[in-house]
Structures are given as C-alpha cells and as structure tokens.
C-alpha cells in the first residue's frame, strides 16, 4: 500500500465496466493522446508521468479536477489521485484496460473515496464515469466523439 492509499478503503466505492471493440493498445492511446482525452474526459486533460500532476481543466460545465499520477503502466493500467481541493486527502481512480477475446477490450474504472462526499457529488461522479466510458467507447470504435453536451 502506497502512502496515498493509507486512507482508502480496501474495496472500491464505485466500479464501472464497458467493453470496447478495439485492442488494448488503441484504448490506451485514447487515454494518453490529448486530443482524444478532450473528447471524452470532459475537457482538456493533461496526464504527466508517475509522481507528476494531472489536471482536467475547468470548462463552462465542469470544475477543474487535479491530482497526481500514481501508476502509468502502458497499455493496461492508469491510477490517479483526484480532488477539488487538497484537504482532506484526495481520492483515487484506477483505469484497468484488459484484453478479453477476439480484439475486444474491457475497461474497468474503480473509484476509491478517502472521505464522505455529499450525495449530489457522488451522483454526479457516477454519471460522469458512465459518460466517460460511453464517450471512450464511441471514440475508439467510431473515430468520432459523442455529440455535445458529452
């Protein structure tokens, strides 16, 4: 357990899964290419290397979300802390990218909370992760993003 995991539960607070008709390498590229990220991550996103910051810049619809890259293991795993503020400690999200069969990839999001969030924030996060997965799937499978407001 890393220091950033010290306040996290052993089990994720939220899990979302989708299957994408593309190889893991293509799905990984969508997570790491800035132009792709902007189409499904809710705005311009910068993901550094392990130990460096990442940020999803604020838009007229969404506040900025920031954190630190905990793991970047191409093409299978990306783990980030995230939060709107630094106190209490930020939460963690993990993206797992696994080959299934016949060129299909499973993407799993695991979100761990270090604090109790108000219900409106957790509901918004659930909607956000589901929209992120839908946008990722659409982009990778069709080459085009979901239409606005996604």
Neighbours of 19 (CB within 10 A): 12
Domains, the chain, ordered by start = 12-142 (3.30.530.20)
| The pLDDT of residue 1 is above 50 | no
Structure tokens at 67: 């954190």
The whole-number pLDDT of residue 107 equals 97
pLDDT digits 0-9 by tens, 11-35: 888 899 999 999 999 999 998 888 8
**pLDDT exceeding 90 applies to what percent of the chain?**
43
What order do you get walking across the sheet with 53-56 strand by strand?
A: 14-20, 105-112, 91-99, 77-82, 65-73, 53-56, 45-47
Predicted local distance difference test score (pLDDT) of residue 5? 52
This prediction's pTM: 0.85
């Amino acid at each position: 357990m890393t220091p950033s995991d010290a306040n996290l539960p052993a089990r994720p607070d939220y899990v979302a899964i989708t299957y994408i008709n593309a190889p893991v390498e293509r799905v990984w590229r969508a997570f790491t290419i800035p132009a792709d990220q902007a189409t499904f991550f809710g705005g311009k996103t910068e993901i550094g290397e392990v130990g460096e910051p990442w940020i999803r810049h604020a838009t007229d619809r969404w506040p900025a979300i920031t954190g630190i890259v905990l793991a970047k293991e191409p093409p299978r795993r990306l783990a980030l802390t995230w939060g709107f503020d630094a106190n209490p400690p930020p939460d963690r999200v993990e993206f797992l990218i696994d080959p299934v069969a016949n060129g299909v990839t499973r993407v799993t999001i695991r979100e761990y909370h270090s604090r109790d969030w108000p219900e409106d924030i957790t509901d918004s996060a659930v909607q956000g992760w589901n929209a992120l997965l839908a946008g990722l799937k659409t982009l990778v499978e069709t080459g085009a993003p979901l239409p606005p407001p996604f």
